[in-house]
Structure 1
């Protein structure tokens, strides 16, 4: 199998991983909150051959608007420079994959912080303990109260646990962020998305619309 570079900057975590024949050969991970743009390129540069790969996979979100664009911009630029394909994956899908290793076959819910007091929520069916997780529902952005009702009795994983009722927080180990090192390189269809942002919610910033027409303008 060819080399694969994975870039993940959609959440407070910033990580990169280089795989060769499905084996992880080099990586870096830091939970830095902000500053992905300054940190990402040096992280890639420290990988073997400066991260040079035959394909690139990038986290398309949902998550931080800025973080998503940082990762996608870097992935697309490297894809053009190296003339290699770039594909995307969901941040919730990677967290579900990470959670699948720690739980019996069942339905789980992923709850990630979405900003403005909301959560990104999606259910996954764990097919087996080889970390195969298939989405059961679409991704939604909802309040913690609505999320609690949607999740029901499912085990919950993700960065949004602190916003849920205390009874729904199983233990600290379930508070996961996406990690490029955990990318399922053995599952070639995992990164099957187009390299485009997954926002779920409309951007906070609204484009300025100039008023058209002038009061009292002459005709003809």
Structure 2
């Protein structure tokens, strides 16, 4: 089965085309912003324009705009190709990428840039199972939440007793999550939206 994987939930933008567990082709760029402009050109570089039997997309938590871009593109391609579209978790992928770099299994805490000075945090045990749902936390809360000696993500814990793996999601590593139950292709923002609705006029 061919799978197109789309990942735009962070400042990285990546795509990968799999044939079962084998990566046929992939592209990864750290762009910060502009996922809407870069995503389709990256997909177009893949064989057969990335056409696949299913589409997997990073549903977050992460960038509001990036997640929306990725999910919308995945659903549009799924509709055009008449294939199913599923999601996977941003922090789960980073944890899996971290585990692949370890010489032996160990718990991993994932810490990623959130918004308004907060971080996205999720702890995973040595087998890769989430200990609790991802949440948005203040930097001061990490001292109580993060206990693993291995930390993965784009936030340096600045602690001498931690081993930090500087990682951003990369679609080519989705294979590490292939055995996991897929998520719905619905955004998981992890925190309240920046924009608030205007109060109703009386």
Q: Same fold (TM over 0.5)?
A: yes
1:93-123: CA deviation from partner (whole Å, max 9, x where unpaired): 0001101112222211000110211111111
Matches within 5 A, 1:17-96: 17-96=16-95
Find the partner of 1:189 among 148, 168, 180.
Answer: 180
When normalised by structure 2's length, the TM-score is 0.94
Aligned partners of 1:22 and 1:186 also within 8 Å: no
2:168 alignment partner in structure 1: 177
Change (3 A) 1:144 1:114: same
Q: Which has the larger radius of gyration?
A: 1
Which position in structure 1 is the counterpart of 2:160? 167
Runs of 4+ displaced beyond 2 Å: 164-171, 185-190
Using the size of structure 1 for normalisation, the TM-score is 0.86
**Separation (CA, whole Å) in 1 of partners of 2:51 and 2:176:** 16
Helix, strand or coil for the counterpart of 1:203?
coil
Q: Structure 2, unaligned stretches of length 5 or more? A: none
Take 1:152 and 1:158, find their aligned partners in 2: how far apart are those partners? 15
Q: Is the 8 A contact 1:69 1:197 kept in 2?
A: yes
Change (3 A) 1:166 1:17: same
SS in 2 for 1:26: strand
Give the count of matched residue pairs: 201
The answer to whether the Cα contact below 8 Å between 2:96 and 2:177 also exists between their aligned partners in 1 is no
**Within 5 A, what are the aligned runs for 1:131-142?**
133-142=128-137
- Unpaired runs of at least 5, structure 1: 128-132, 213-220
Cα 1:188–1:155 shift into 2, 3 Å: closer
CA distance in 1, matches of 2:34, 2:175: 26
